[in-house]
Amino acid sequence: MIPRPKPERFRLRRTMIFMSAQKPGLIKDAYIYGVDSIMLDLEDAVAENQKDAARFSLYHTLKTIDYGDTEVIVRINGLDTPHWQEDIRVCVAGGADGIRIAKCESADDVRTVEAAVEKAEEEFGVEKGRTLLMAALESPKGILNAYEICAASDRMFGVAISGGDFRKCMQTKPTADGIDMVVARGQMLIAARAAGVQCFDTVFTNLDDKEGFEAEVRQNKAMGFDGKSLINPKQIRYVHEVFAPTEKEIMQAEKIVRAYREQSAAGVGVFTVDGKMIDIAFIPGAERTLRLARACGMYEGDLV
Amino acid sequence: MEILKPATAGTLESSDAQITVEPAEGGIALELHSSVMNQYGRQIKATVLETLERLGVENARVTVVDKGALDCTLKARVECAVFRSCDKSQANIPWGGVIR
């Protein structure tokens, strides 16, 4: 029995890879990939008549396999199915770090799941509040209600868009420049930032289209996403590369944080670094860059 | 638990095991086929029997077709097959109780 450490609500989540909880061959050694989070799936990857078997498999996986620093999230079945309550019981009993709410459309959906999680924490003697939540927005209604969803619970760490279902609702197809989803992605990002949670992009399903995948990852980074959902381990490395800060950004961030600490100790609020105006508003971003750099193995200083 | 009807869980994919339980009298009759029989046959048999004992299954005919499953997978498949045989696999599973 390997008890996982208490999950951190805010941590590095550049990559989150989906794998079926019903497939032992996939999930038994998923910690080797170096992915930030794995998403054990009880929902669409599991056939309707194997939902029960997937839960037994999930329980023993969570209890037996040491995933180390890799975060373990479980995607549960939708609230319109007969499965979600037992899904939540097994997640909490097994000690999953977090639960992904599929097809989330409102703050009420989040609160419904939260109530069931709390009940399960009580039933299985798990510390109250341990199990984190994230929501997948898969419909226009989910996107329109993104802010209330993001702000619905202290357990919420982030929100993700699910492209397949969303495009189906919008009657669109994936496009090379992402125009089909740009508004939804943008609205979700604004809502997530306003609520102070993380934001993740959808999967890129055409594994043969390397150029298309890489263009989408670069666009994700430019739009301000924290990370991306993935379907294949070969997609991990590129996302980590794109989401890593550059040497120049790290040096600049270090300079800014250092200068800020010196200047504010001397009573100065606004000053210049390399000819650019810096004040307190730049500090959280610079510190974030340093934390990201540390996680990517590119910064070993002591400022963060 | 009493095996009420035949039930199967698991697949024949690599790293998995397919377990079938059927009603029987006079103890446990275990039939084991494994791709790693020479190396792990005894270990697999022990894990399956321990799991059945934990679930309180005293009488059953059990067939295991193993494709290199880890112990945690064997346990999960045996438990699911037994719970299915009693129509109790869908809800209110005693996680952390007899399932451990």
Closest-CA distance of chain B to residue A112, Å = 18
pLDDT of residue A219 exceeding 70, the answer is yes
Nearest to A59 among B15, B91, B95 (CB): B95
Side chain identity, residue A285: G
pLDDT of residue A252 exceeding 90, the answer is yes
Selected residue with higher pLDDT from A294 and A3? A294
Interaxial angle between packed helices B71-85 and B37-54, expressed in degrees from 0 to 180 and rounded to the nearest 10: 40
Whether residues B83 and A52 touch (CB distance < 8 A) is answered with yes
Q: pLDDT tens digits, residue range A108-121?
A: 999 999 999 999 99
Q: B59, B3 in Cβ contact below 8 A?
A: yes
> What pLDDT does residue A292 have?
87
Q: Which residues of B touch A94 (CB under 8 A)?
A: 95
Report the residue of chain A nearest B18, measured CA to CA: A53
Report the residue of chain B nearest A56, measured CA to CA: B76
Nearest to B72 among A61, A90, A124 (CB): A61
Q: pLDDT tens digits, residue range A148-205?
A: 999 999 999 999 999 999 999 999 999 999 999 999 999 999 999 999 999 999 999 9
Whether residues A53 and B10 touch (CB distance < 8 A) is answered with yes
Nearest to A86 among B72, B76, B93 (CB): B93
Q: Residues 13-32, chain B: which have Cβ within 8 Å of A?
A: 13-16
> What pLDDT does residue A183 have?
96
Q: pLDDT tens digits, residue range A17-66?
A: 999 999 998 898 888 899 999 999 999 999 999 999 999 999 999 999 99
A249: left (phi over 0), alpha (psi -120 to 50) or beta: alpha
Nearest to B75 among A60, A65, A90 (CB): A60
Whether residues A61 and B69 touch (CB distance < 8 A) is answered with no
Q: A154, A129 in Cβ contact below 8 A?
A: yes
pLDDT of residue A1 exceeding 80, the answer is no
What's the pLDDT band for A2 if we cut at 50, 70, 90? low
Side chain identity, residue A176: A
Interface with B, mutate which of A51, A56, A64 (most B CBs under 10 A) = A56
Q: Name the average pLDDT for chain A.
A: 94
Q: A157, A97 in Cβ contact below 8 A?
A: no
Assess: ipTM above 0.85: yes
> What pLDDT does residue A31 have?
87
Burial class of residue B25 (count of CB atoms within 10 Å of its CB; 0-12, 13-18, 19+): exposed
> What pLDDT does residue A295 have?
82
